[in-house]
Structure 1
């Protein structure tokens, strides 16, 4: 792989995270470009910052301050990266230098031993040890998103253009309805019918309710205690799984999932 291809990989936000980690370990000259790459993950940035490389530190400072416009993917505007450092370094010069250093150390140790006796023991097992930067943490695994819940199928959806309101009154003001969290209930003040449920007579206001299971209940109440917007004839209101429509024949309300409904008017409850 050429030097320009390696530099492109180091700057490209689409480069896989494990590839950025490998480039940072094997090619020191690419580390400033990797520090400026917006896709570089936090653990790798911390590792780069621990190296003490001035060029890397400058790139990290530029990244924290925000990259200036004009360059692709926030390309650095500081000193250019020496791509000659991207080639793997030869092992032979390092090996020769190590052997020479070992030879000099051996000669010094012999001279010290001969003239001043045994060398004093180190104060601890880690004395003189140089702490190297820890290896970068592995790239974080991408979480698989949970499957979305399938929408509830409605037997009888709310009409288009229905108002999303908490409560409303019929045009006559004789019927008022309230949407609850899992119910819709309507109360009629004056009526001529006697309901089969609730032990009510024609002189008491009647409250009719449908719950989230589509079940209907009827009871007597003291008065019509409902306020809200007046819903004109042929207008609808809806909230949650419930909907109502005002008609001249009465107020009809229903549960959109089960389709269960009631129609409340002065003459009857159906």
Structure 2
């Protein structure tokens, strides 16, 4: 009758080979095998290296806490003596087929660790397990002969190939380090060909067909565009920035100043004022500026109240004139001449750049 695997794992008389097979086949029995007194040291070390809490606890129980009386030593029993002299058991059944575990075999039996799986020794239930001597597969093998001769042969073939290519180049292209200038008195083939081409072109070209730099039209379009741009920039003494508004008819937030920007002039009327004004100004004082001269007072035509307002801090203008609203005054001017005026309820002042 086949013994239960769990009972085999706990049985102190289980052979090393059977414990080895159980550890590989039944990971759930590893804590029981770790606590088995017949488990050989290499197998215990491998189990301890797994880092599993149950196995570590079983190993701790197996060794037990050290006794406080260090003078007393526990003599080995017959059961623990079986570790050194295990009896031979005949397995009634074939061992359970297992998947190879190279890392387990290599760490338990001292083989070099690595990723390549080596052929594992066959374990039978007819004899106690005895680890075999670890041998290097390269030991005893006849050292391989170094293939230095093949490398030298390849190197010589490479040199011969390079030499053949260099010789072919010199034969076809000539000596690149030689004097390319022809000897004195010897005609040069390239010079002769160039002279023939020049003579043919001279014969084929009709009189007056040569390019005359004086007759070539000058690229005046781009120059004229640049000149126009420079003239436009030069004409503006006080241009407005690009982010300025384009309002041409507006009033101040209080409604006391009304302005109108036309193509020929700019006019602003102050309805109520506290400064001296000409006698002909009735219903407000009108200030005017054009591109022809300085700003003046012209009450011949006034500007009425507008629906749109120019808020404080805003700036507006058209192609020739501009106005800026401040809390203390309004300032308007001609962009081309820079002439203008500042107006408010309390005062007015003519300005110029």
Give the TM-score band, short-chain normalised: 0.3 to 0.5
> Higher relative contact order at CA 8 Å, sep ≥6: structure 1 or structure 2?
1
Structure with the largest fraction of strand: 1
TM-score, normalization: structure 2?
0.33
Quick check: which has more Rg, 1 or 2?
2
